[in-house]
Chain A
Amino acid sequence: MSGYWDPHIERMPLKDLHALQEDRLKSIVRYVYDHSAFYRQRFKDAGVEPGDIKSLADVTKLPFTRKVDLRDTYPTGMFSAPKSQVVRYHVSSGTTGKPTVVGYTRGDIETWSESLARALTSIGLGRDDTIQVAYGYGLFTGGLGLHYGAERIGAAVLPIGTGSTERQIELMQDLGTTAIACTPSYFLHIMEVAEKMGVSIQEDTNLKAGIFGAEPWSIETRKRIEEGTGINAYDIYGTSEISGPLCTECMQQKGIHIWGDIFLTEVIDPKTGEPVDDGERGELVFTTLHKFALPLIRYRIGDLSVMTNEVCECGRTHPRILRIMGRTDDMLIIRGINVFPSQVESVLMKIPEVGDHWEIIVDRKGVLDMMTVKVELTEKGFSDKIGDLMRLKKKVSKELKGVLNIAAEVDLVEPGTIPRSMGKAKRVTDNRKV
């Protein structure tokens, strides 16, 4: 079992944690009201004043904020700190719209690093480890975020960034990398390239842990990675709006610890905005309790998950969210039925004849939406009898239908033909948009 980075905070009795959250909630609400014209106006529109927030439960009196608010106030209209206090910007890629800019004070960077230091310690990493950061460096939060967190715990950081996959594997061997941080899809690609190079990650490297995130991934993918390499694969969570990657699972792998001293997390019904019960699925809403350049109040991040307040077996008292099942932005509506790419992934990864990479293509034929799922045939899955291949296609299609409730055409393609990504994988091509 691993130790704690900050046992006082991480194991804080719930009563004390709630008291701390309440104090911080009151202060941050007062702070944004005093420092941000955007929030002042929002609060006025909602008929709420900082003085109305007397307890944690009062958080529901506050209005929601959304990604669109960050876009509308591009670049820095939602910031609460003056420019003199901002020490860094990150900018989202803007693939789904205008880019969004986030900013940090020196203290915000400090909080971010501390958060990751706790997380990395909770998966058993420390000063003896070498952490290969294969997330993108630069405007994306993944690279620098992990970098600061890893340095904070005294680990040796290999700031390699994305790409040059063969070099990743060589350096992993030469420097004895013990943990790697990247997107799960990129790690699957690293596994594939290692195999081609004749390198067994299990036998020929010291890798013991992977920190995977920035895109949703399923338990089944975790199984493939862990069984294929002998490492432990941990889920990491965070988006640029709330700083970047911040929180991970602990060694129990039973949900991501969302540090309560820096976030107030709510789970709401995305339709009504009302809170759901503990353990029920809903949309995550974060209030950043200890972030000052760009504090977010009741930010609807769009990720769907389940939260539990049960104290974890590891002794950490902070709430946990279970695997992100998808982002509302990623949801496809096909013939009126909601489909999350993560559901498709979890089905495919259970089928050994199907490779690690896949693609969803949505077309409209006449008035009908058609979904095609492209999968690569593995060596194991290849039979030179056409009947066997047709049966495999049918099997995949049937399993998809069982979970998604809609029929999908399955295309078997040759291994290596679906594009590999170094960062966030692009799994969906929707040709319906005119």
Chain B
Amino acid sequence: MAEIKQISLFVENRPGRTANVAKTLSDAGVNIRALTIAEAGDFGVIRMVVDNPEKGYDVLKENAFTVSMTDVLAVEMKDTPGGLYEIVNTLGESGVNVDYAYAFVTAKAEKAMLILRVDDIAKARDVLSKKGVKMATREEIQAI
């Protein structure tokens, strides 16, 4: 399976809320691989990829956060000009819509990792594989 689990959280835009999230995960020994905050005025949504999503989800839920798990793709992207274009163009031509995306570069890898949430994950995986694009598995994310 090439899709991975992303944790999403609803947070009010108040000082210290993001710190609470970070502390909760840190206390549980959950490591954040990538994170993005989408804000919309008085609230925001934190999305993140962590090394152990089930544990991350559980501790956040226990601490009364509004949290959900979403299937996303972690797509390996050439860290060169045109790397992103190749991926989104493939998806666009296949009629797959990208809901949101964020990228991170790992220390070891010479490739950048693009986290993608799309409206049709099976199709996205399919068309990207055919193009020879590599997608990270859960184990690979864990091992980063």
Contact = CB atoms under 8 A, between A and B. Distances in A.
Given A414-B65, A415-B66, A386 B10 contact: no
B42 interface: yes
A411 interface: yes
Nearest to B72: A384
A416 B62 CA distance: 13
Interface string A260-280: 000000000000000000000
A432 B99 CA distance: 42
Given A377-B66, A384-B45, A386-B45, A414 B10 contact: yes
Interface string A391-416: 00000000000000000000111111
A184 to B, nearest CB: 23
B12 A414 contact: yes
A382 B10 contact: yes
Chain A interface, >50% SS class: loop
B40 A390 contact: yes
B32 interface: no
Contacts of B117: 384-385
Given A379-B66, A389-B40, A389-B43, A384 B12 contact: no
Contact of B66 (A385, A386, A411, A414): A414
A251 to B, nearest CB: 38
A422 B65 CA distance: 23
Contacts of B100: 385
Interface residues of A, number: 16
Interface of A: 377, 379, 382-386, 389-390, 411-417
Nearest to A417: B12
Interface string B84-111: 0000000000000001100000000000
Interface of B: 6, 8, 10-12, 38, 40, 42-43, 45, 47, 64-66, 68, 70, 99-100, 117
B12 A386 contact: no
Nearest to A378: B66
Contacts of A390: 40
B10 A377 contact: yes
A386 B8 CA distance: 11
B8 A412 contact: no
Nearest to B100: A385
A187 B6 CA distance: 35
A87 B55 CA distance: 61
Contacts of B43: 389, 411-413
25 contacts: A379-B66, A379-B68, A382-B10, A382-B68, A383-B68, A384-B8, A384-B45, A384-B47, A384-B68, A384-B117, A385-B99, A386-B38, A386-B40, A389-B40, A389-B43, A412-B10, A412-B42, A412-B43, A413-B12, A414-B11, A414-B12, A414-B64, A414-B65, A414-B66, A417-B12
